[in-house]
Amino acid sequence: MTAVEKILSRVIGRDDIQHGVQPGEIIYPEPDLVIMHDGHTHKFLRELWEMGVTELWHPDRIMVAMDHRVPALNLQIAQSHKETRHFIKTYGIEHFFDIGNAGITHQLQIERGFARPGGFIVSRDGHSPNAGAVGCLAISIGQDILPYLALGNSWLRVPNTLRMHLTGQAGPGVLPRDVAQTCAAVIGPDRADNCVIEFAGDYVDGLDIDGRQVLCNIMVEIDAVSAFINPDEKSIEYVRARNEHQADQPFTPVTSDKDAVYTETLELDVSSLEPIVAAPPDPANVVPVSSVAGKSIQQVFIGTCAGGMLEDIRAAASVMKGRHIAPGVRALIAPSTQRILEQATQEGLINILTQAGATIMAPGCAACSGSTGPLADGERCITTATSNKPGRMGSKDAEIYIANAVTVAASAVAGKIVDPREVLES
């Protein structure tokens, strides 16, 4: 069995391989955690209340974070935040992360010890597969969040597992983001359909947890069900050090069997890669950064659940130190969580970035969906965000290029898209 099949077998009460789940089977799994954010929590909880549901299935297994539109951008959003806080108290939801102690849910689930090896999480938001970085299966179930909140389960089709084997060492300027976007292009939406992407190989083994999160995160952009990395000592120790909210609950890491059946196995030698960008209009439209170098930009954005981690902030600061952002370029930076902001401040990274002319935004999703810092007609942005589909960050007539944090920071300084190797070699 694959690790995914083992986890889903556990959460429906089948613990032996003879009776384990099969790809395509319809099951009713019970999650270890349900995750929501401020963009929809008030709507779902209000709907349940209006239906007469006055008690939730397990308030202690629900996590809510203010992350999408923080702080409130207008009166309407402020009212929705107020309603969210009201229902959090009414339903007795235990794990609530408000402004000042929050961040993007997809990082918080790992940072605060909720995502654990062998665990199963359901989320309303699509990028929940970050949890796969520590061997936890997380699946976005969209509107089906209601029965999970009220009853503890809903139907789910057991996905196939596609294995992506990554080998070699990355060259100069090539970060996990380049590898992840390339994998998305190699796999494509047809292969990813109804699949969990399982990453393996010596390249994956050498990544830290931030890098592993990037690999898992990007796969939802090609419509994969989720992504997963078999837990090892690195991920297990990482979780043990952060097991603050469920410290009294042991976890059991789960890995795929050597003879597990995969729908397909693909190979990629990362040593063959160069820095890339995902060019409009799709995250899988991957091209060498050299092919678009020289294009002028009006905005850069470093942040999100795929590019606002501490390693990204460090990478951006390493480029901007002693330099200044080019005239006519707006540089927006949003650490993914409050704790990342605190650590970046302690390391002096925030001071470096602000001296270079960057604007630091509140921890959260920030400009990723265009709710803050939207792009105007005809503007071009290079970013570490998750998607570059038309209209994602404002105007449908704006252009969005996705790249790693070094490429984005170097472009901010140059005022145009540049190959990061030029900066690294200077």
Assess whether 47 and 194 both reside in one domain: yes
Strands (E), 4-134: 26-27, 33-37, 62-65, 95-97, 120-123
Assess whether 323 and 186 both reside in one domain: no
Assess whether 255 and 295 both reside in one domain: no
SS3 174: coil
pLDDT score recorded for residue 17 = 64
CATH number at residue 84: 3.30.499.10
pLDDT score recorded for residue 182 = 96
Assess whether 238 and 326 both reside in one domain: no
pLDDT score recorded for residue 245 = 65
Query: What kind and span of H or E run contains 83?
Result: helix 75-91
Boundary (domain end) residue, out of 225, 243, 268: 268
Assess whether 250 and 294 both reside in one domain: no
Assess whether 255 and 352 both reside in one domain: no
Reading the block at residue 148, the tokens are: 């999970």
Round to whole Å and give the CA distance between 117 and 135.
4
Boundary (domain end) residue, out of 213, 248, 268: 268
Assess whether 46 and 141 both reside in one domain: yes
SS3 302: strand
Count of the separate structural domains present in the chain: 2
Boundary (domain end) residue, out of 209, 235, 268: 268
pTM for the model stands at 0.94
Domain span including residue 176? 3-268
Write out the chain's pLDDT in tens, 426 residues: 999 999 999 999 987 667 899 999 999 999 999 999 999 999 999 999 999 999 999 999 999 999 999 999 999 999 999 999 999 999 999 999 999 999 999 999 999 999 999 999 999 888 999 999 999 999 998 778 999 999 999 999 999 999 999 999 999 999 999 999 999 999 999 999 999 999 999 999 999 999 999 999 999 999 999 999 999 999 999 999 887 766 557 899 999 999 999 999 999 999 999 999 999 998 989 999 999 999 999 999 999 999 999 999 999 999 999 999 999 999 999 999 999 999 999 999 999 999 999 999 999 999 988 888 999 999 999 999 999 999 999 999 999 999 999 999 999 999 999 999 988 776
Assess whether 281 and 401 both reside in one domain: yes
Assess whether 91 and 229 both reside in one domain: yes
